[in-house]
Structure formats: structure tokens, C-alpha cells
Structure 1
Amino acid sequence: MIKLLDQGHRHFVLDLGFVTFMDSMGLGVIVAITKRIREHDGSLRIASVSGRILKIFDLSGMRESFEIYPSAAEATQSEPSPGSLKHWPHPSSD
């Protein structure tokens, strides 16, 4: 991720379709990635989240802080919003 940011990439889709287990450490990694992306005025969309993993986002109160899509294809159908992480970790009140 750091290498991609250094190369100028700013907008990312994190496909969690292969993830069968996540704990607070996994969520912490996503938070750290999100902070890095925000520092570069980028965006992060999360895709293909199973019900079990989505529950982790719910329990942590982080679900509303992220753009979550049913699939990576749907996450990439529209242009990323510049500054979409501006209000992260709290959802904007727009």
C-alpha cells in the first residue's frame, strides 16, 4: 500500500471476499491503511464483505465510516469522491 501511494495511486478498493476471519487486529490494519490514504487525499472502498466480517464493522462502530459495496465490480462503477475520507473516522453529516 505504501509503495502504491508513493507511486501516486490514491484511490483503492479493498476486496475482502477471501477473508473468512477478522479480529480487532485486522480492523486495526484497515484503520492504519485508511489513515495513510487520507493523508494523501485518497479514497478507500471496501468490497465483498461477508456477514460475519460486516458484524465486526458493526460492533466496532466503523461500518458508517467506510463505503462498503457488495462486490469489487460495484465499488469501481463510479469515480471516487475526492476527499471522501476527509471526515474519517466519522461519517460526514451530508
Structure 2
Amino acid sequence: MSMQMKEYVTRTVVVALKDEVVAFNVPELRERFYELLEEGVRQFVVDLSDVTFMDSAGMGLLVSVLKRARQEGGDVKLVLPRAEGARRIFALTKFDRVFDVAETAETAVRLF
């Protein structure tokens, strides 16, 4: 699992997650997202295009970050995974009804 960030002038941060987002690495990811919120970031694009697998803890992380961001007047947009298995989870859980989703980070940034 790795994490890269790219900040836009609008205080939108693109967080690109890779590989597996599972219970093992969720605490570290949650801590980093919350640190960004404390630093004043309110708009997140979570780029999941390179995520190969996500378990329920990973899905819970996304919901948790969404709730915190919205409490602070922000929002979270998602870039859907390219891996079919990971993408199917998003369809089954209907996450596209909770989050605005896009195919690329650039498109997701424009959703704000």
C-alpha cells in the first residue's frame, strides 16, 4: 500500500491509494486523512484507480472521511478503481449514490 498526494490551488488534495486498502492499513490512512483535515484541507479526491482490493474496513474509511469532511464544510469525490473486482464492490454497495465518482482525478477535481 502506498499513498501519494497532489494539492491543487483550491485546497483540494488528490490522495492516490494503491494496491490493497484493508483493515491492516486503514488506521494509518485514517490518521493521515484526519491530519490533513486538521491542516485545513476540506476537499479530497480519493484516487482509487490503482487499488486492487478493498475490504469493508477500507469502505468504512471512505465513509468516515466523507462524514468528517462534510462536518467541516468539505466533500470527498472518488476516482473508481480500474480493477474489475474492486470496481464491482463499489457497484454492489451503491457507493456512487453516496459519493460523486469519476474516471480520472482531473475530472473528479472539476466536480467541486
- Counterpart in the other structure of 2:74: 42
RMSD of Structure 2 on Structure 1 (CA) = 1.5
- Counterpart in the other structure of 2:61: 29
Higher strand content, 1 or 2 = 2
Consecutive aligned runs of 4 or more in structure 1 exceeding 3 Å deviation? none
TM-score by length of 1: 0.73
Give how far 1:46 is off: 0.4
Report the Cα distance in structure 1 between the residues aligned to 2:97 and 2:85, rounded to whole angstroms: 16
Structure 1 residue runs of 5 or longer lacking an equivalent are: 81-94
Give 1:46-61 correspondences, 5 Å limit: 46-50=78-82, 51-61=84-94
2:39 is the alignment partner of 1:7: yes
Structure 2 residue runs of 5 or longer lacking an equivalent are: 1-32
TM-score by length of 2: 0.63
Q: Deviation digits for residues 22-61 of structure 1, max 9, x if unmatched?
A: 1212111111111111111101110142232222122223
Q: Count how many residue pairs are aligned between Structure 1 and Structure 2.
A: 79
